C-alpha cells in the first residue's frame, strides 16, 4: 500500500473513465431498434471505472494513518513502475494496432506481454493461455453471438 501512488492512480483512472464515457457517446446508441446498443458496454465500464476510482480516492483520504502503519510494519517495496509502463504501453499499442492487425493477433500479443510483465518465465504457458483465450473469445463472439471483430490482416 502506497498512499501517494493510490491517490495518483485514482486520479488517472478517473480521467480514463471520463474519457471512455465521453468517447462512448460517439458510438451509435442502438442497433436495429434495440435499446441496448454498441455504446452501452463501454459507457457502463467507464461509469464503473469512474465510481471505483472515486472510491479509491476517498479510501486513501480516510485511511492515511492505516497506510502509514502498513508501510512501517511491512517490508515495503516501492511500486513497480516498470511493469506499469510495460502494460500501459502494450495497451496503447493494442488500441492502435487492433484495426491493422486484427483481434486475434493483437489480443494474443497483448496477453503474452501482460503475462510476462506480471510474472517472468513460463513463456510456453503464457503463449498457450493467450492463444486459447484469444481464439475462444474470437470464435465464440463471431460464430456463436454473431458479432463482428477485426479479422486477420490478410
pTM across the whole model: 0.55
In this predicted structure, which of 55-59, 81-85, 114-118 has the lowest mean pLDDT? 81-85
The answer to whether the CB of 116 falls within 8 A of the CB of 126 is: yes
d(CA 147, CA 57): 37
Hey, which of 18-22, 94-98, 142-146 has the most confident mean pLDDT? 18-22
> H or E segment at 110?
helix 103-118
Which residue ranges make up each domain of the chain?
A: 1-74, 80-154
pLDDT tens sequence across 41-82: 788 888 999 999 999 899 888 877 666 655 555 555 556 778
Q: How many angstroms separate the CA atoms of 57 and 44, rounded?
A: 20
Amino acid at each position: 500500500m502506497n498512499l501517494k501512488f493510490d491517490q495518483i492512480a485514482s486520479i488517472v483512472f478517473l480521467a480514463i473513465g471520463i474519457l471512455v464515457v465521453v468517447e462512448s457517446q460517439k458510438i451509435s446508441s442502438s442497433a436495429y431498434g434495440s435499446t441496448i446498443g454498441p455504446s452501452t458496454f463501454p459507457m457502463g465500464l467507464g461509469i464503473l471505472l469512474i465510481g471505483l476510482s472515486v472510491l479509491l480516492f476517498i479510501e486513501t483520504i480516510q485511511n492515511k494513518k492505516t497506510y502509514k502503519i502498513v508501510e512501517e510494519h511491512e517490508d515495503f517495496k516501492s511500486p513497480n513502475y516498470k511493469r506499469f509502463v510495460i502494460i500501459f504501453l502494450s495497451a496503447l499499442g493494442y488500441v492502435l494496432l487492433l484495426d491493422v492487425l486484427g483481434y486475434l493477433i493483437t489480443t494474443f500479443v497483448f496477453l503474452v506481454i501482460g503475462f510476462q510483465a506480471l510474472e517472468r518465465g513460463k513463456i510456453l504457458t503464457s503463449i498457450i493461455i493467450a492463444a486459447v483465450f484469444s481464439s475462444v473469445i474470437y470464435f465464440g463472439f463471431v460464430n456463436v453471438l454473431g458479432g463482428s471483430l477485426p479479422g486477420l490482416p490478410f
